[in-house]
Amino acid sequence: MALPLRRGFRRSGASLSLRLDAQERAVLTEVLGQLATLLEADEADGPPEDTGGGAAPEEDPWEALVGIAPTASRPADPALARLLPDGYDDDDEAAADFRRYTENDLRQEKTTAVAVALDTLALDSDRIGLDAQQADAWVRVLNDLRLVVGTRIGVDADYAETRLDDDDPRAASMALYDWLTWLQSTLVSALMRR
C-alpha cells in the first residue's frame, strides 16, 4: 500500500473539506463497503433455528414496534463485538438485556454513518466538502474502521511500540490503521477549530 498524501481534513470558516486522490478514495470506499457488510452480515443470519422440533417462537408485536431484538447475542466475530459491545462486563443477564434494547438502533446508526460517508465519497470531485452532520458521521465511521482494523491486527495498549517488518502479512493493514488514525485526528482537529 502506497503511503497516502498527507492533506487531511481542513477547516475554512464554517466548512470542512478533505482532498483525496483516486487511490485514497478507492481505499476508503472499499473499507467502508466492508464495514457495511460486516454490520449487516451477523444481523442477516436471523434468530437461531429451533432444532427441538417445536414451533418457532412468536414475534412479540411490541418488541417489533419499538425495535427490541429478542434474540440478540454477542457477536462471534471479535471485530463486530468491538462495534457492538456488551453494556455490562460482569453481569451476563444485564448485558443480554442491554443488547436486546440497544443493538438494533446501534447497528442502524452505524450503517447510516457508513452510507453518509459513502455518499460523500461518491461525489465527482477530488475535494469533499462536509457539513456538520456529515462530519459527525465521518468521525464515527473513522473510529469504527479503526476498531475493526485494529481488532483484526491485534492493536492493544502496547501499539505505539509495535513496528512490523514489510514482509509481515499485517503490514498493509497496519499502514491502513495508521492512515485512518491520522485522518481521524485531522478531522477532530479541524472540528475543534471554530
The verdict on residue 5 lying in a domain is no
CA distances from 167 to 55, 103, 149, 164, 171 (A): 53, 39, 18, 8, 7
Residue 11 forms part of a structural domain: no
Q: Is residue 102 part of a domain?
A: yes
Local confidence band at 46 (pLDDT 50, 70, 90 cut-offs): very low
* Domain of 99, in residue numbers: 16-43+62-192
- Domain assignment present for residue 48? The answer is no
- Angstrom CA distances, 93 to 42, 97, 98, stand at 21, 6, 9
pLDDT per position as a tens digit, 138-179: 999 999 999 999 999 888 766 665 666 778 787 889 889 999
- Give the count of domains, the chain: 1
**Is 57 among the domain residues?**
no
Q: What is the pLDDT at residue 55?
A: 45
Q: How far is the C-alpha of 142 from the C-alpha of 180, rounded, in Å?
A: 6
Flag whether 8 is in a domain.
no
* 1 in a structural domain: no
Of 5-19, 58-72, 148-162, least confident by mean pLDDT is 58-72
Provide the mean pLDDT of the chain.
82
Confidence at residue 94, expressed as pLDDT on a 0 to 100 scale: 87
The reply to whether 7 falls in a domain is: no
- Report the C-alpha gap between 49 and 34 in whole angstroms: 27
- In angstroms, the CA 138 to CA 113 distance is 7
